[in-house]
Amino acid sequence: MASPRDIIGRGFAFPINVDAKGSMAWSVPLANDTTQNRLDALEDRMRQLLLTTVGERVLFKEYGTDIVTSILGLAQPALAASILRRFVDAIGRWEKRVVVVKHDVSVRPKEGMILFTLVWRSSSTGAMGMTVLPISTRFKEQS
C-alpha cells in the first residue's frame, strides 16, 4: 500500500487510465528527480490545460481553452489556428514551467483530425519536449 508521502500532491493520471497492476494510474509528481518524469508531467499539465473548458474549474474560472466548445468548427484552418494561438497564450499564463519554442496546427480533413503540435522547453532544466495533440473532427451519428 502506498504511504501518504507517495500520494500527497498527486492525482489521477490524465487521461485517466490503468497502470500495469490494474489500479488507477497516478500522475507523475513534478518533484520526481528524473528529467524524463518532469517532461512527462509537464506534457500531462499541457494536455489538461488544452482539454479543460474555460469556466470548468471552480477556483480558476479562466483556466483552460475553448477547444471543446469550438470543436465543431475546428475543420476550418483559421479557427484551428486561432485556438492554437489561444492555447499557447494559456500556456504562457498558467504553465510558467514551459516556454513554447514552436507551434503548429495541421488540419487533415481526409483523416478527420487536427494535429496541434508544440515544441517546448522546460524553464528550469532547459530540456526540450514535444507535444502532439490529435483532435478528431468526426462524430458518430446517434441512432
Is the pTM of the predicted complex or chain greater than 0.75?
no
Chain centre to alpha carbon of residue 140: 24
Chain centre to alpha carbon of residue 57: 15
Closest CA to 91 of 72, 64, 125: 64
Which pLDDT tens digits describe the chain residue by residue (143 residues)? 555 555 555 667 766 778 778 887 777 655 555 667 778 778 888 888 888 888 888 888 888 887 766 665 566 777 778 878 888 898 888 888 899 999 998 888 888 888 889 999 988 888 898 988 888 776 554 44
| Residue 111 · residue 94 · CB < 8 Å | no
Answer whether the bond into residue 109 is a cis peptide, omega within 30°.
no
**Phi and psi torsions of 77, nearest 5°:** -55, -40
pLDDT at residue 142, as a whole number: 47
